[in-house]
Structure 1
């Protein structure tokens, strides 16, 4: 398991990337709120995508599409991948959920 400092660095970078993508969308369409260990993305319909840290197990958890998915950091590919091996990647999954709840594309810079 990775050490806490590395996890905190990677989780913070993931949250910043998600918030930057959300900030590029009209807040009347998608409202983004960051509170410490959680990012809440709320669509006009009031549907939500919640991204949260799971510090004890060094994961990021995403609630959306009526499910909760845990993501582990894969150092070999520098990506966050779902812990069940379904081929889900954190940023793509969040983008898909946001599109489902808001109808807008969720694009990451860089």
Structure 2
């Protein structure tokens, strides 16, 4: 995968997350910065940060539960450790931090 393809796929994933958060009913504030960094803030002040990492060609997620790396497998962004799809993992992480069900996807 070259830089152009990676950036297109990563931008699409971040836009998809942004759109899912926009319709989410949980009390979550979020902002997608121009540099490809999505900051999600919860009522308790905790955050989840989602950003692309061009050198590794991965999407990285930093949450209270830890750091997670997602790599494109040709169909979806999957966790490099356990194979969980990005939106599924992000829903679980956001639910933990929000204290309520957060379904993204």
Question: How does the TM-score come out when normalised to structure 1?
Answer: 0.86
The corresponding residue for 1:52 is 51
RMSD: 1.5
| Aligned-partner Cα distance in 1 for 2:103–2:30 | 12
What is the match of residue 11 of structure 2? Answer: 12
3-state SS of the aligned residue for 2:97? helix
Is 2:96 the counterpart of 1:100? yes
Equivalence map 1:1-110=2 (5 Å): 2-26=1-25, 29-35=27-33, 36-75=35-74, 78-84=75-81, 86-102=82-98, 103-108=100-105
Instruction: Tell me by how many angstroms 1:26 deviates.
Output: 4.9
Q: CA deviation at 1:97?
A: 0.9
Looking at structure 2, the residues matched to 17 and 101 of structure 1 have their Cα atoms a distance apart, in angstroms, of: 20
Bigger shift: residues 18-27 or 93-102: 18-27
Residue 83 to residue 107, structure 1, CA distance change in 2 (3 Å): closer
2:65 touches 2:93 (CA, 8 Å); kept in 1? no
| Runs of 4+ with >4 A deviation | none
Q: CA deviation at 1:105?
A: 2.0
* Structure 2: unaligned runs, 5 residues or longer: none
